[in-house]
């Protein structure tokens, strides 16, 4: 007689439903099973219409983020056993994203915001490969390394109330990735990113709730990245008054680059 | 700049849940955040109280006595006790968050957050002890 | 039916696909490029690679040595002209990635750090912490964001290639979000869809590795090469397939059977010592370890579990302190994803499928015999891996051949006219077929999961680590039966919006085709070489089989196998020597490392 546990899962079929509803499923309770295994069991054996994203099953691809009992989690890293045998586990799509179907959310908005912050290495000059690698000591890498660990799972977006309240807010992961490049000694693009970052929809939209850092499965600390950038942006703003002409030259450079 | 993702035209039936005005009551972490923000009001409260104290001083001994009397009412004591708790909460959360915004590096390695917060606490303790001594010593 | 047009189209947005797209954009900034991927690119399986990427970097190393390690490791089935091009371009590609921001690990003075890796006699493996694939993929993805000519079709599933006039002219794809069928025409199509580990029941591969591109190519008339060569890694977790790195054994872990006995001593791998000895016992050659497992299982000395037979890796005697210092990632993976603690518990392990040496047959520019069709990465077989891949070669393979295929496709496209109208009729047919076959079909009583599990079981038992004629023929029969039953598959989900069950059904169809190709190729190769081991033909046979197998699907749906000689340039085939007998040829023992 195998132990069972009940999952309460959000369902939404746009052809049929106006709003999401909940459906209960009983699944075997196994020590090594995670919530994702339970979903796979249901889809394979019980109800093939259950819809969700997943891929690597080891917390590196970032596909399987969902709300489990109200918390944003990677379902491949959330054991059924951590909820106790008699608990009912509630599974919903990630909060603050539009729901496409069942547990699948729309990710296109996040990618547009990611693009806005120019998350790539920007150079004024193209250095040829023949010159070899850019030198970067382990200490220099340490400055940005943590922010480079983001798997784009968007759990931080589901945790951040500003994302929920303000559609235009760029959001934790995108801002952290911008900072990852700003702090990379090989990058020369902080000027170009300033516009998107030091903006009411950028870092200034953040009120340091800190939930993003708490839920991040890779310990990226996006809240830290944003607050650090706030300091830098504030200094840049002061500089623009104290050294107006110096700032003018920079703006000219930026204009040339953007063209 | 063009978006690199192909435009998704077919989405009239995505479901968007409205975020309620009471979003912050839904979760303990959110409530803690709002309380943290509100705790700045306790600072304002004590500033205003001090201003009223100065005003009372300005108007002479009688006015001051009345002021002191009012401070002893149960309501005022309760209010000040609550405000004081919020002030402590305000200070502690601030000290704990500050290292997040200012990573300190020594010898190429990042100093752990509690070590960055520690000097704040230490300074707080020292100043509090000093002020306490000033207040409690015999005139 | 919606039709979009581009000059070049990439199917798959992983390491190879993204690198190829950038290469094409650099050839001509004016050409329009499409990257069509069934998942968002950062979810591609490249992301899970851990170990590193090999490229000759230091002055004490040479291209010839990298080439020799690769060729001997591949049991002399590698095309040597391809290997020579590969070892020459690999360091450049890795450097290019560095210029794009990839956070390679560094030495204290700021130069790129390299480390040792299984099978490589010199230190030449570049690495980014223990998440090399992750950093490479994200660097590539973020770099593609700045190229305007690249249009991404995220979460579009390609169901067939459009072929007319003897050349590939585009694809038909389902926009998963809406269920709309879309034809996307292009002058050149490059397949970068990865391997097919999910054909097997125990694999490190993600759910998305179903051999899509291999089946698409074969159905369009392009041959698949060397499909019988499937790489196993000896220690993976039985349920999740997560890899337990060789380092766990290098630090002193024991492999024990159900009686707690260190069984490797029965297989000519030395005698058990308290400390690990190089190339002996648990540090023996990977394929020998996998084979020992099979033999133990046949003797009934493995532990049965609900996830199949396992042996155990015992790390308990190493102590918590050592495990935390030297094997923290092993402990983290076991605890976080399978809920067991190696400090206190035995780790159940078994050989798991890791990489597919075989794939769509290409030349050294990524071109297939079908005009307009290219392939790069794990989906392709150039071949630089031969009969067995060396660890840390597959990531640079994606880059080198991705770039080559991207450039070749761009040049080809420049000389082509617009796709003709016939392909649009094909696309309309495809739409009807999908609707009739899956969505509007009544009846249909086979469940996808049932067919998939039976396929996996058949392929593992018939074409696993050890093969023989009878087991292969049996597997072939079973697969034919499954193909028939697949005609009767029934979906629960008939909706259009984000129908993942439909996608699973089509992936199963691809996997069945690929599985048949694996079994058929294995049946025809009556020798043992590298990863292909025949108990009925245990010796290597260079006279008849120093050649690649090519498997095509004929018009009557049967599989035809023929052979293509291996290209030998400078390194004549040698003996693949094990154990004490080899210093010069030490490479083969440390084969099949995680990449």
Contact B4/A111, CB-based, under 8 Å?
A: yes
Contact B4/A230, CB-based, under 8 Å?
A: no
DSSP-based helix, strand, coil % in chain A, nearest 5: 45, 15, 40
For A55, the closest of C39, C109, C111 (CB atoms) is C39
Cα(A100)–Cα(C154) distance, rounded to whole angstroms?
15
B107 CA: distance to closest CA in chain C (Å): 13
- Give the mutation candidate from A16, A93, A108 for the B interface (greatest B CB count, under 10 A): A108
Options 3.40.228.10, 3.10.20.30, 3.60.15.10, 3.40.50.300; CATH for A4-105 is: 3.10.20.30
| Chain C: touching chains (3 or more CB pairs < 8 Å) | A, B
Q: Name the band, by pLDDT with cuts 50, 70 and 90, for residue B1.
A: very low
Hey, how many other C-beta atoms are within 10 angstroms of the C-beta on A61?
30
Contact B33/A210, CB-based, under 8 Å?
A: yes
Per CB-CB distance under 8 Å, the chain B contacts of A115 are 1, 3-4
Cα(C131)–Cα(C140) distance, rounded to whole angstroms?
14
Cα Rg of chain A, angstroms: 22
Give the DSSP H or E segment for A71: strand A71-74
Which phi and psi (to 5°) does residue A104 adopt? -100, 125
Per CB-CB distance under 8 Å, the chain B contacts of C175 are 10
C122's torsion region: left (phi>0), alpha (psi -120 to 50) or beta? beta
Contact C95/A133, CB-based, under 8 Å?
A: yes
Catalogue the E-assigned strands of C457-586. Answer: 466-467, 533-534, 547-553, 559-565
Query: Which residues of chain A from 39 to 98 reach within 8 Å of chain C, CB to CB?
Result: 43-45, 47-49, 51-63, 76-77, 79, 81
Q: Which residues of C are catalytic?
A: 233, 249
How many CB contacts within 8 angstroms connect chain A with chain B? 79
B46 CA: distance to closest CA in chain A (Å): 24
For C151, the closest of B4, B11, B13 (CB atoms) is B4
DSSP letters of A115-168?
Answer: HHT--S---SS---GGG-PPP--HHHHHHHHGGGG-----HHHHH-HHHHH-TT
Cα(A153)–Cα(A59) distance, rounded to whole angstroms?
9
Contact B10/C144, CB-based, under 8 Å?
A: no
Nearest CA in chain A to B12: A14
> Could you give the C-alpha distances from A215 to A7, A96, A211, C380, in angstroms and in order?
22, 15, 6, 39
C21 CA: distance to closest CA in chain B (Å): 13
Give the pLDDT confidence score for residue A252 in this predicted structure: 52
How many CB contacts within 8 angstroms connect chain B with chain C? 24
Contact B10/C153, CB-based, under 8 Å?
A: no
Per CB-CB distance under 8 Å, the chain B contacts of A221 are 100
- Give the mutation candidate from C53, C142, C438 for the A interface (greatest A CB count, under 10 A): C142
Query: Which residues of chain B from 107 to 136 reach within 8 Å of chain A, CB to CB?
Result: 108-110
Which residues sit opposite C347 in a β-bridge?
C313
Nearest CA in chain B to C34: B6
Nearest CA in chain C to B11: C178
Q: Give residue-wise pLDDT tens across range A128-171.
A: 999 999 999 999 999 999 999 999 999 999 999 999 999 999 99
Q: Does B5 touch chain C (CB under 8 A)?
A: yes
Q: Distance from CA of residue A6 to its chain's centroid? A: 29
Low-confidence ranges of chain A (pLDDT < 50): 257-259
Q: Which residues of C241-278 are buried (b: 16+ CB within 10 A; e: fewer)?
A: bbbbbbebbebbbbbbbbeebbbbeebebbeeeeeeee
Q: Does B106 touch chain A (CB under 8 A)?
A: no
> Could you give the C-alpha distances from B97 to B87, B122, C24, C374, C403, in angstroms and in order?
15, 16, 47, 53, 46
Could you give the angle at which helices B28-38 and B74-101 cross, rounded to 10 degrees?
110
Q: What is the CATH number of domain B13-136?
A: 1.20.1300.10
Give the pLDDT confidence score for residue C590 in this predicted structure: 38
Q: Does C29 touch chain B (CB under 8 A)?
A: no
Helix ranges (H only) for C415-488 are 422-434, 448-462, 469-486
Options 3.30.460.10, 1.20.58.220, 1.20.1250.20, 1.10.1060.10; CATH for A108-258 is: 1.10.1060.10
SS3 assignment for B22-56: CHHHCCHHHHHHHHHHHCHHHHHHHHHHHHHHHHH
B124 CA: distance to closest CA in chain C (Å): 38
Nearest CA in chain C to A82: C339
Residue spans of the domains in chain A: they are 4-105, 108-258
Q: Which residues of chain A have a Cβ shorter than 8 Å from any chain B Cβ?
A: 12, 14-15, 19-20, 70, 95-96, 98-100, 106, 108, 111-112, 115, 137-139, 142-143, 161, 164-165, 207-211, 213-214, 221, 223-224, 227-228, 230-231
Q: How many CA atoms lie within 13 A of A158 on its CB side?
A: 27
Which phi and psi (to 5°) does residue C314 adopt? -105, 110
Nearest to C120 by CA among C48, C49, C55: C55
Nearest CA in chain C to B108: C108
Predicted ipTM of the assembly: 0.94
A32's torsion region: left (phi>0), alpha (psi -120 to 50) or beta? alpha
For B108, the closest of A20, A111, A142 (CB atoms) is A142
Contact B8/C148, CB-based, under 8 Å?
A: no
Q: Does B8 touch chain C (CB under 8 A)?
A: yes
Query: Which residues of chain C from 297 to 326 reach within 8 Å of chain A, CB to CB?
Result: none
Digitized pLDDT (tens) for each residue of chain C, 595 residues in all: 778 999 999 999 999 999 999 999 999 999 999 999 999 999 999 999 987 899 999 999 999 999 999 998 899 999 999 999 999 999 999 999 999 999 999 999 999 999 887 778 888 999 998 889 999 999 999 999 999 899 999 999 999 999 998 999 999 999 999 999 999 999 999 999 999 999 999 999 999 999 999 999 999 999 999 999 999 999 999 989 999 888 888 888 899 999 999 999 998 888 888 887 777 788 877 778 888 999 999 999 999 998 889 999 999 999 998 888 888 888 989 999 888 999 999 999 999 999 999 999 999 999 999 999 999 999 999 999 999 998 889 999 999 999 999 999 999 999 988 877 788 888 899 999 998 888 888 888 999 999 999 999 999 999 999 999 999 999 999 999 999 999 999 999 999 999 999 999 999 999 999 999 999 999 999 999 989 999 999 999 999 999 999 999 999 999 999 999 999 999 999 876 543 333 334 333 333 333 3
Residue spans of the domains in chain B: they are 13-136
C132 contacts C51 by C-beta, under 8 angstroms: yes
Give the DSSP H or E segment for C152: strand C150-154
Vertex B25 angle, CA B28 and A35, to 5°: 55
| Chain A: touching chains (3 or more CB pairs < 8 Å) | B, C
> Could you give the C-alpha distances from A193 to A24, A196, A229, C100, in angstroms and in order?
47, 6, 11, 17
Kindly tell me if the per-residue pLDDT of B3 is higher than 50: no
Cα(C389)–Cα(C394) distance, rounded to whole angstroms?
8
Nearest CA in chain B to C145: B4
Query: Which residues of chain A from 114 to 143 reach within 8 Å of chain C, CB to CB?
Result: 114-115, 118-121, 127, 129, 132-138, 140-141
Q: Does B33 touch chain A (CB under 8 A)?
A: yes
Q: Name the band, by pLDDT with cuts 50, 70 and 90, for residue B5.
A: very low
Cα(A154)–Cα(A97) distance, rounded to whole angstroms?
10
C99 CA: distance to closest CA in chain A (Å): 7
C37 CA: distance to closest CA in chain A (Å): 14
For B8, the closest of C148, C177, C497 (CB atoms) is C177
Contact B108/A221, CB-based, under 8 Å?
A: no
Q: Which residues of B1-16 are buried (b: 16+ CB within 10 A; e: fewer)?
A: eeebbbebeeeebbbe
SS3 C454: helix
């Amino acid at each position: 007689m195998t132990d069972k546990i009940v999952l309460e899962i959000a369902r939404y079929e746009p052809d049929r439903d106006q709003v999401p509803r909940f459906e209960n499923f009983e699944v075997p309770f196994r020590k090594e099973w995670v919530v994702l295994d339970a979903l796979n069991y249901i889809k394979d054996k019980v109800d093939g219409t259950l819809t969700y994203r997943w891929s690597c099953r080891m917390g590196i691809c970032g596909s399987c983020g969902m709300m489990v009992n109200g918390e944003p989690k990677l379902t491949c890293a959330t054991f059924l056993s951590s909820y106790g045998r008699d608990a009912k586990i509630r599974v919903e799509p990630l909060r603050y994203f539009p729901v496409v179907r069942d547990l699948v959310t729309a990710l296109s908005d996040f990618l547009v915001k990611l693009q806005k912050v120019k998350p790539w290495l920007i150079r004024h000059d193209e250095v040829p490969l023949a010159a070899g690698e850019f030198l970067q000591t382990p200490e220099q890498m340490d400055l940005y390394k943590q922010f480079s660990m983001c798997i784009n799972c968007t759990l931080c977006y589901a945790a951040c109330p500003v994302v929920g309240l303000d559609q235009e807010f760029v959001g934790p992961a995108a801002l952290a990735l911008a900072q990852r490049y700003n702090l990379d000694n090989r990058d020369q693009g902080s000027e170009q990113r300033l516009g998107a970052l030091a903006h009411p929809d950028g870092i200034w939209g953040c009120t340091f709730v800190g939930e993003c850092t708490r839920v991040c499965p890779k310990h990226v600390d996006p809240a830290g990245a944003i607050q650090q950038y706030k300091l830098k942006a504030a200094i840049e703003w002061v500089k623009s008054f104290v050294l107006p002409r110096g700032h003018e030259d920079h703006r000219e450079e930026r204009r040339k680059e953007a063209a | 700049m063009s978006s690199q993702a192909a435009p998704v035209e077919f989405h009239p039936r995505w479901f968007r849940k409205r975020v309620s005005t009471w979003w912050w009551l839904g979760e303990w972490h959110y409530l803690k955040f709002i309380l943290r923000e509100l705790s700045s009001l306790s600072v304002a409260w004590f500033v205003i109280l001090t201003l009223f104290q100065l005003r009372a001083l300005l108007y002479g001994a009688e006015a001051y006595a009345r002021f002191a009397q009012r401070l002893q009412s149960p309501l005022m004591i309760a209010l000040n006790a609550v405000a004081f708790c919020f002030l402590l909460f305000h200070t502690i959360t601030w000290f704990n968050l500050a290292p997040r915004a200012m990573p300190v590096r020594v010898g190429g390695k990042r100093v752990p957050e509690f070590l960055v917060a520690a000097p704040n606490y230490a300074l707080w303790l020292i100043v509090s002890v000093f002020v306490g001594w000033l207040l409690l010593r015999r005139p | 039916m919606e039709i979009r047009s581009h000059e070049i189209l990439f199917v798959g947005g992983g390491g190879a696909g993204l690198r190829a797209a950038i290469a094409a954009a650099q050839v001509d900034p004016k050409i329009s490029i499409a990257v069509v991927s069934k998942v968002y690119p950062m979810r591609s399986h490249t992301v899970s690679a851990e170990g590193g990427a090999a490229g000759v970097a230091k002055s004490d190393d040479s291209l010839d040595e990298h080439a020799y390690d690769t060729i001997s490791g591949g049991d002399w089935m590698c095309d040597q002209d391809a290997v020579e091009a590969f070892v020459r371009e690999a360091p450049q590609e890795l450097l290019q990635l560095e210029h794009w921001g990839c956070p390679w690990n560094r030495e204290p003075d700021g130069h790129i750090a390299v480390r040792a890796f299984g099978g490589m006699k010199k230190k030449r493996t570049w690495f980014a912490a223990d998440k090399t694939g992750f950093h490479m993929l994200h660097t590539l993805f973020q770099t593609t964001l700045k190229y305007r000519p690249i249009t991404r079709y995220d979460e579009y599933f390609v169901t067939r290639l459009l072929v007319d006039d003897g050349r590939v002219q585009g694809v038909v794809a389902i926009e998963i979000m809406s269920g709309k069928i879309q034809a996307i025409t292009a002058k050149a199509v490059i397949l970068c869809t990865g391997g097919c580990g999910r054909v097997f029941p125990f694999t490190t591969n993600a759910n998305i590795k179903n051999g899509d591109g291999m089946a698409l190519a074969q159905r369009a008339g392009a041959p698949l090469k060397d499909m019988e060569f499937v790489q196993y890694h000896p220690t993976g977790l039985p349920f999740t397939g997560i890899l337990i790195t060789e380092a766990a054994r290098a630090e002193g872990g024991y492999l024990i059977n159900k009686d707690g006995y260190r069984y490797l001593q029965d297989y000519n791998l030395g005698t058990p010592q308290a400390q690990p000895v190089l190339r002996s016992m648990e540090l023996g050659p990977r394929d020998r370890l996998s084979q020992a497992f099979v033999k133990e299982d046949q003797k009934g000395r493995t532990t049965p579990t609900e996830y199949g037979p396992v042996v155990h890796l015992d790390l308990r005697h190493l102590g918590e302190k050592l495990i935390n210092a030297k094997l923290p990632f092993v402990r983290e993976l076991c605890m976080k994803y399978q809920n067991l603690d190696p400090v206190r518990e035995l780790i159940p392990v078994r050989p798991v499928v890791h990489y597919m040496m075989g794939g769509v047959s290409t030349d050294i520019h990524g071109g297939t015999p079908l005009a307009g069709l290219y392939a790069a990465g794990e989906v392709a077989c150039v071949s630089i891996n031969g009969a067995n891949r060396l660890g840390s070669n597959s990531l640079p393979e994606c880059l080198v051949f991705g770039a080559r295929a991207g450039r070749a496709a761009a040049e080809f496209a420049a000389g082509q006219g617009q796709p003709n109208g016939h392909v649009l009729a094909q696309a309309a047919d495809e739409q009807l077929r999908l609707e009739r076959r899956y969505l509007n079909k009544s009846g249909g009583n086979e469940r996808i999961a049932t067919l998939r599990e039976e396929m996996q079981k058949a392929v593992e038992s018939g074409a696993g680590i050890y093969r023989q004629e009878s087991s292969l023929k049996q597997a072939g029969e079973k697969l034919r039966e499954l193909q028939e039953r697949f005609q009767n598959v029934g979906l629960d989900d008939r909706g259009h919006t984000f129908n993942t069950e439909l996608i699973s059904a089509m992936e199963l169809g691809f996997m069945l085709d690929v599985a048949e190709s694996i079994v058929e190729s294995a049946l025809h190769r009556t020798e043992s070489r590298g990863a292909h081991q025949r108990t009925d033909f245990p010796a290597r046979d260079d006279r008849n089989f120093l050649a690649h197998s090519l498997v095509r699907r004929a018009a009557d749906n049967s599989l035809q196998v023929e052979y293509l000689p291996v290209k030998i340039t400078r390194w004549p085939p040698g003996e693949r020597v094990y154990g004490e007998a080899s210093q010069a040829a030490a490479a083969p023992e440390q084969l099949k490392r995680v990449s």
